[in-house]
Chain A
Amino acid sequence: MDKVVKDACQHTERVADYAFDIMPSEERLPFEAHLASCSLCREELKELRAAWQDLPQLAELAEPPAGLKEEVMSGIFGIEAKPNLPRSRSIWFYVMSAAVIIAIVAGTFWNLRITEGRQFAAEEALTETASIAQLVSLEPSEPADSKAYGIACVLKKGNSSQLVVYVFGASSNQGTDAYQVWLLRNGERSNAGTFKVGEKGIGVLTYAMEQVRSFDAIGITLEPDGNGQSPRGPKKYGSTEPIQWD
């Protein structure tokens, strides 16, 4: 309910300051309180704002240059992989890369800490050697990432299994963003951890599994940070077949 409506309000001149953002910040709140009870000033504000919002129409419409959309979107969603990465995608490259990774990982298998707090199974398995139980390739989800590819492999040692996910040719991470690995089983998606990719475009993640013996799919998304419990960002890689082992 407004107070007595006067013919003029002593504050009406200040409405312009408020409308054009030139009012000092400490005066804004008290002025807003005044606006709430003064219909004259509110009306003035409405008029000034309407005129202010018409001003953009004074600009001639101009066609943005070609290619701007690609530049803007790649600026927001990730930069293209550097052009001088190797182009070879033959199966032997996959196998050899996997062999190198597995050799490294198997060597440090039981001593490696994967993520905060998660530890490996019993040290008594040190006497056994890890073997590759299953190997699947991970295809890039976006055609623009055609230089990128990945491998998921399951290592077995005794009764414990270790999932190793490896990506090559990935866009490097900026700021807090990170890649996140998701395992799909029976329609449910679980978080297998996050990893970062640096300038070389390589990323590795290892994940210990105790009782699991299969999953339907693996997906890797690019997340704004490593704190999500469900996918928020776009899918970057996906498995092309189910993963099962004994």
Chain B
Amino acid sequence: MLNATDPELIRLVQLRSRDALEALYDRYVKLVYSFALKTIRDESLSKEIVQQVFTRIWTSSHAFDPTKGQFTSWLLTVTRNIAIDVLRKERRLEAQRPTANEALDRYPAPEEESPEQSLLKAFEQEQVRSAYRRLTEAQQKLLDLFYWQGYTLTEIAEMTDEPIGTLKSRLHQSLKTLRRLMQAEGEG
């Protein structure tokens, strides 16, 4: 199991191998959990998201097409979709409660450094982060609202009182800039 590639493990999961699912779990739970935590900013809801993600992998492993991209991209798309569903549901529930609970607006406490983080991964992460920091404040805010907080462009337009067209261009431009900065740093 330890040397199997991701597509091989998924194939075994399709053949109902629990061991293969557990191997994928061990390999990727940290990634899924970290992503969930950044989106939902709540430990117990993040656990719930992890549960739903790996249940989805077990029941819908056929949805992953190895010819269409990496397993991690698919995994993170699934994670993001589930996380945003949970986040939006929580928001609806929060809105119904008489006393406003600000838990969802709190930013998480600074994470402790993980000793297991490999140097390469830390380097790649730093590349994306430093590229991100070079975006304008408006671009960063939009990315945060759209990508991490799961608001639709329509909702963001209402919140910021800006036309959707402007937001779309800004989003488009932010990603292109990120890409350009990443490539430049990669070649530096």
Contact = CB atoms under 8 A, between A and B. Distances in A.
A16 interface: yes
B16 A61 contact: no
Interface string B97-124: 0000000000010010010010000001
Contacts of A232: 16
Interface string A46-81: 011011111111111111110011011101110000
B10 interface: no
Nearest to A17: B168
Contact of B50 (A16, A51, A72): A72
A62 B111 contact: yes
A106 B142 CA distance: 73
DSSP majority for the A interface? helix
Interface residues of B, number: 48
DSSP majority for the B interface? helix
B174 to A, nearest CB: 8
A122 interface: no
10 A-B pairs with least C-beta separation: A60-B111, A16-B172, A59-B38, A51-B175, A51-B179, A64-B33, A57-B128, A51-B178, A62-B34, A59-B34
Interface of B: 16, 18, 21-22, 25-26, 29-31, 33-35, 37-38, 43, 46-47, 50-51, 54-55, 58, 73, 76, 80, 108, 111, 114, 117, 124-125, 128-129, 132, 143, 146-148, 152-153, 168, 171-172, 175-176, 178-179, 182
30 contacts: A16-B168, A16-B171, A16-B175, A20-B171, A22-B153, A47-B175, A51-B175, A51-B182, A53-B76, A54-B178, A54-B179, A56-B80, A57-B129, A58-B128, A58-B148, A59-B35, A59-B37, A59-B38, A61-B111, A62-B30, A63-B114, A64-B29, A64-B47, A68-B47, A68-B50, A71-B51, A73-B25, A76-B21, A76-B55, A234-B18
Given A59-B34, A61-B30, A61-B117, 12 more contacts: A22-B152, A50-B182, A51-B182, A53-B76, A56-B35, A58-B125, A68-B50, A72-B54, A72-B55, A73-B21, A76-B21, A76-B54
Interface of A: 13, 16-17, 19-20, 22, 47-48, 50-65, 68-69, 71-73, 75-77, 224, 232-234
